Protein backbone atom coordinates (compact mmCIF):
# COMPACT_ATOMS: atom_id res chain seq x y z
CA UNK A 1 0.00 0.00 0.00
CA UNK A 2 1.43 3.35 -0.96
CA UNK A 3 1.64 6.37 1.29
CA UNK A 4 0.01 9.74 0.62
CA UNK A 5 1.38 13.02 1.93
CA UNK A 6 -1.29 15.54 2.90
CA UNK A 7 -0.39 19.16 3.54
CA UNK A 8 -2.76 21.84 4.83
CA UNK A 9 -1.78 25.08 3.11
CA UNK A 10 -4.53 27.47 4.17
CA UNK A 11 -7.38 27.64 6.67
CA UNK A 12 -10.40 29.93 6.38
CA UNK A 13 -11.84 29.93 9.89
CA UNK A 14 -14.87 32.04 8.94
CA UNK A 15 -16.04 29.60 6.25
CA UNK A 16 -14.63 26.45 7.89
CA UNK A 17 -12.67 25.72 4.72
CA UNK A 18 -9.30 24.00 4.60
CA UNK A 19 -7.07 24.03 1.50
CA UNK A 20 -5.14 20.79 1.13
CA UNK A 21 -2.34 19.63 -1.17
CA UNK A 22 -1.53 15.97 -1.60
CA UNK A 23 0.94 13.70 -3.36
CA UNK A 24 1.87 10.04 -3.27
CA UNK A 25 5.20 8.25 -3.41
CA UNK A 26 4.65 7.81 -7.16
CA UNK A 27 3.38 11.32 -7.99
CA UNK A 28 5.31 12.98 -10.80
CA UNK A 29 5.77 16.27 -8.93
CA UNK A 30 6.56 17.57 -5.48
CA UNK A 31 3.52 18.16 -3.26
CA UNK A 32 3.98 21.95 -3.47
CA UNK A 33 3.78 21.90 -7.27
CA UNK A 34 0.16 20.70 -7.25
CA UNK A 35 -2.88 22.95 -6.81
CA UNK A 36 -4.72 22.83 -3.50
CA UNK A 37 -8.21 21.37 -3.05
CA UNK A 38 -10.75 22.92 -0.66
CA UNK A 39 -12.63 20.88 1.93
CA UNK A 40 -15.47 22.07 4.19
CA UNK A 41 -14.74 20.92 7.71
CA UNK A 42 -18.40 21.18 8.75
CA UNK A 43 -19.26 18.45 6.23
CA UNK A 44 -17.11 15.92 8.06
CA UNK A 45 -18.03 16.32 11.74
CA UNK A 46 -14.33 16.65 12.47
CA UNK A 47 -13.31 18.53 15.57
CA UNK A 48 -9.60 17.67 15.52
CA UNK A 49 -7.00 17.74 12.77
CA UNK A 50 -6.62 13.96 13.02
CA UNK A 51 -10.38 13.44 12.55
CA UNK A 52 -10.32 15.82 9.57
CA UNK A 53 -7.45 13.97 7.89
CA UNK A 54 -9.15 10.63 8.49
CA UNK A 55 -12.42 11.99 7.07
CA UNK A 56 -10.82 13.20 3.82
CA UNK A 57 -8.47 10.23 3.42
CA UNK A 58 -10.79 8.15 1.15
CA UNK A 59 -11.49 11.07 -1.18
CA UNK A 60 -7.85 12.20 -1.30
CA UNK A 61 -6.80 8.60 -1.97
CA UNK A 62 -9.09 8.49 -5.00
CA UNK A 63 -7.93 11.92 -6.21
CA UNK A 64 -4.23 11.06 -5.97
CA UNK A 65 -4.74 7.64 -7.59
CA UNK A 66 -6.56 9.20 -10.57
CA UNK A 67 -3.96 11.96 -10.93
CA UNK A 68 -1.04 9.50 -10.67
CA UNK A 69 -2.66 7.28 -13.32
CA UNK A 70 -2.97 10.27 -15.67
CA UNK A 71 0.65 11.31 -15.03
CA UNK A 72 2.09 7.79 -15.31
CA UNK A 73 -0.15 5.82 -17.65
CA UNK A 74 0.24 2.05 -17.33
CA UNK A 75 1.77 0.01 -20.11
CA UNK A 76 -0.56 0.02 -23.14
CA UNK A 77 -2.78 -3.05 -23.47
CA UNK A 78 -2.46 -5.08 -26.67
CA UNK A 79 -6.02 -5.09 -28.05
CA UNK A 80 -5.16 -6.78 -31.36
CA UNK A 81 -6.65 -10.15 -30.31
CA UNK A 82 -9.90 -8.68 -29.00
CA UNK A 83 -11.59 -8.23 -32.39
CA UNK A 84 -14.71 -10.41 -32.90
CA UNK A 85 -14.68 -11.67 -29.30
CA UNK A 86 -18.14 -12.65 -28.07
CA UNK A 87 -19.31 -13.79 -24.64
CA UNK A 88 -22.58 -14.16 -22.72
CA UNK A 89 -22.57 -13.10 -19.06
CA UNK A 90 -25.10 -12.60 -16.29
CA UNK A 91 -26.38 -9.04 -16.04
CA UNK A 92 -25.04 -7.05 -13.13
CA UNK A 93 -27.74 -6.61 -10.46
CA UNK A 94 -28.78 -2.99 -10.14
CA UNK A 95 -31.00 -1.61 -7.39
CA UNK A 96 -34.60 -0.89 -8.31
CA UNK A 97 -35.30 2.82 -8.76
CA UNK A 98 -36.81 4.43 -5.68
CA UNK A 99 -40.30 5.88 -5.86
CA UNK A 100 -39.99 9.69 -6.06
CA UNK A 101 -41.13 11.44 -2.91
CA UNK A 102 -42.73 14.18 -5.01
CA UNK A 103 -45.52 12.72 -7.19
CA UNK A 104 -44.82 15.18 -10.01
CA UNK A 105 -41.33 13.68 -10.39
CA UNK A 106 -42.85 10.29 -11.23
CA UNK A 107 -43.85 11.71 -14.64
CA UNK A 108 -40.83 12.98 -16.60
CA UNK A 109 -43.12 14.58 -19.21
CA UNK A 110 -43.64 18.28 -18.80
CA UNK A 111 -47.24 19.45 -19.12
CA UNK A 112 -47.77 23.08 -19.94
Q: What is the mean pLDDT of residues 37-62?
A: 87
pLDDT of residue 84: 92
pLDDT tens digits along 69-106: 899 887 888 899 999 999 998 888 877 776 666 555 55
CA distance 55 to 44: 6
Q: Who contacts 101 (Cβ-Cβ below 8 Å, separation ≥6)?
A: none
CA distance 30 to 21: 10
Q: Who contacts 87 (Cβ-Cβ below 8 Å, separation ≥6)?
A: none
pLDDT of residue 100: 60
SS3 category, 104: helix
Q: Residue 67: pLDDT above 60?
A: yes
- What is the reported pTM? 0.63
Q: Residue 41: pLDDT above 80?
A: yes
Amino acid sequence: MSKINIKIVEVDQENHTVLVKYASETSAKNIDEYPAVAFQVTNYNASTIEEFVEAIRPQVSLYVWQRDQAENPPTPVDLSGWNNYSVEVEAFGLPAPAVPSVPALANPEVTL
